[in-house]
């Protein structure tokens, strides 16, 4: 037993500490949403979630395991606690998910390592062969700063940069809470290509290929990767930037995968999800400010959904057992439909035009954005005594 008082130490868009019990409380709350939202649906078969410890990936793991009673295998890259350091938020999230699964007699396992590597893919294949059998659903929810090619050893890096012209627009400085201008130089061809290798569809396709060759895809197999499009306001830095081009490659990969799965009557889709507060989105200039404005508008209209609500809707209406997806003309599943409603975007655009440091908290839900951001790391969670010591060594049971 190692107990200590854990305080937040947030630097920009990351916290270098995470509160174990706060993370656990977040997981328990998401589990309840999943159980209620997916009640009455058929049971889901063996499921693999790549990128399973935070954000949309964690919500998927919890929804599949606790909402649809699926045997779930997750893949992530998190740091366990040690004598010198706390564990990461993702580690503590999964520690609680594993504890709950064991208590309720559910089957949940985690492979912790580099999902891009051959070694981790082999570990997953071995686990599926031994304890799961062919999977019905693969969800790809991986966001990473770099990728090493297992064959050549080449290292690619992803960057958040515009393409074709420098970026100049409003952003909110998460350190000073001030609205200011962000300026980012346009990406080089090498940076564009590197981001595609990391954030595009190559690794998703490799997972499907390896699993198919191993005979581990069930008839009617489905796979979904997560993406984001966003509004005109953020397109210069996102959709028309390096990440957006990589996501276009991801979307093209879905069609190629569907063709390769014809013998199984399988299908691949990209789900375009709405903007929410995640560790990944917090790193993108302008997006934090946009999300703060969006939160206020959608909460006032009663249409706001967090990550768990989005994934519950995805499984209930699009890719869960017994459900037929309803993609758009481009073949994309659109969970961002409520975000992109014209009246919502008009209200956000009007607020964007006049937002400043002085009126930030008045015309946006920046306080809500900050609270959501802190909760990603287990802080600011109702009912947690942050002055009390808490157990920091929490295993994946």
Active site residues: 238
The residues near 169 (Cβ < 8 Å, ≥ 6 apart) are: 181, 182, 236, 237, 285, 286
Length of the chain: 397
Q: What gap in Å lies between CA 165 and CA 99, rounded to an integer?
A: 49
Q: What is the C-alpha R_g of the chain?
A: 20
Q: What gap in Å lies between CA 19 and CA 381, rounded to an integer?
A: 10
Q: What gap in Å lies between CA 181 and CA 170, rounded to an integer?
A: 5
Backbone angles phi, psi at 146, to 5 degrees: -155, 160
Write out the DSSP string of 343-354.
HHHHHHHHHHHH
Do the beta carbons of residue 212 and residue 260 sit within 8 Å? Answer: yes
Q: What share of the chain is helix, strand, coil (3-state, %, to 5)?
A: 45, 15, 40
Q: What gap in Å lies between CA 307 and CA 55, rounded to an integer?
A: 6
Residue 374 structure tokens:
């802190």
Q: What gap in Å lies between CA 136 and CA 117, rounded to an integer?
A: 23
Residue 56 structure tokens:
């949309």
Q: What gap in Å lies between CA 134 and CA 99, rounded to an integer?
A: 25
Give the CA count within 13 Å in the CB-facing half-sphere of 228.
27
Residue 373 structure tokens:
């951001």
Bridge partners of 241, per DSSP, are 162
Residue 348 structure tokens:
């956000």
Do the beta carbons of residue 305 and residue 240 sit within 8 Å? Answer: no
> Pick from 109, 26, 103, 99: which is nearest to 64 by CA?
109
How many angstroms from the chain centroid is the CA of residue 47?
A: 17
Q: Map residue 80 onto helix, strand or coil.
A: coil
């Amino acid at each position: 037993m190692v107990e200590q008082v854990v305080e937040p130490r947030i630097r920009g868009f990351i916290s270098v500490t995470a509160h174990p019990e706060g993370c656990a409380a977040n997981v328990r709350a998401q589990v309840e949403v999943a159980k209620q939202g997916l009640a009455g649906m058929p049971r889901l078969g063996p499921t693999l979630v790549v990128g399973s410890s935070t954000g949309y990936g964690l919500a998927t793991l919890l929804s599949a395991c606790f909402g649809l009673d699926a045997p779930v295998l997750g893949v992530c890259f998190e740091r366990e606690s040690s004598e010198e350091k706390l564990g990461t938020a993702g580690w503590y999230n999964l520690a609680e998910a594993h504890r709950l699964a064991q208590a309720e007699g559910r089957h949940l396992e985690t492979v912790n390592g580099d999902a891009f590597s051959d070694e981790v893919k082999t570990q997953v294949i071995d686990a599926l062969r031994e304890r799961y059998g062919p999977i019905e659903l693969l969800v790809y929810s991986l966001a990473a700063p770099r990728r090493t090619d297992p064959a050549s050893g080449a290292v690619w890096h992803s960057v958040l940069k515009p393409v074709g012209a420098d970026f100049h627009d409003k952003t909110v400085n998460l350190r000073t809470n001030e609205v200011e201008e962000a300026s980012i130089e346009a990406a080089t061809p090498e940076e564009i290509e590197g981001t595609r290798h990391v954030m595009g569809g190559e690794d998703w396709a490799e997972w499907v290929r390896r699993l198919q060759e191993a005979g581990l895809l069930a008839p009617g197999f489905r796979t979904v990767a997560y993406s984001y499009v966003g509004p005109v306001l953020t397109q210069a830095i996102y959709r028309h930037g390096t990440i957006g081009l990589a996501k276009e490659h991801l979307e093209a990969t879905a069609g190629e995968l569907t063709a390769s799965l014809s013998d199984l009557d399988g299908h691949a889709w990209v789900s375009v999800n709405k903007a929410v507060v995640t560790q990944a989105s917090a790193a993108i200039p302008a997006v934090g400010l946009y999300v703060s404005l969006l939160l206020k508008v959608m909460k006032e209209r009663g249409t706001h959904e967090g990550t768990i609500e989005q994934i519950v809707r995805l499984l209930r209406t699009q890719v869960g057992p017994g459900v037929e997806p309803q993609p758009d003309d481009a073949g994309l599943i659109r969970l961002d439909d409520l975000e992109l409603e014209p009246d919502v975007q008009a209200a956000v655009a009007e607020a964007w035009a006049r937002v400043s440091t002085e009126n930030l908290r008045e015309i946006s839900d920046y306080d809500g954005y900050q609270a959501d951001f802190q909760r990603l790391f287990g802080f600011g969670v109702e009912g947690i005594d942050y002055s009390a010591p808490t157990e920091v060594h929490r295993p994946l049971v």
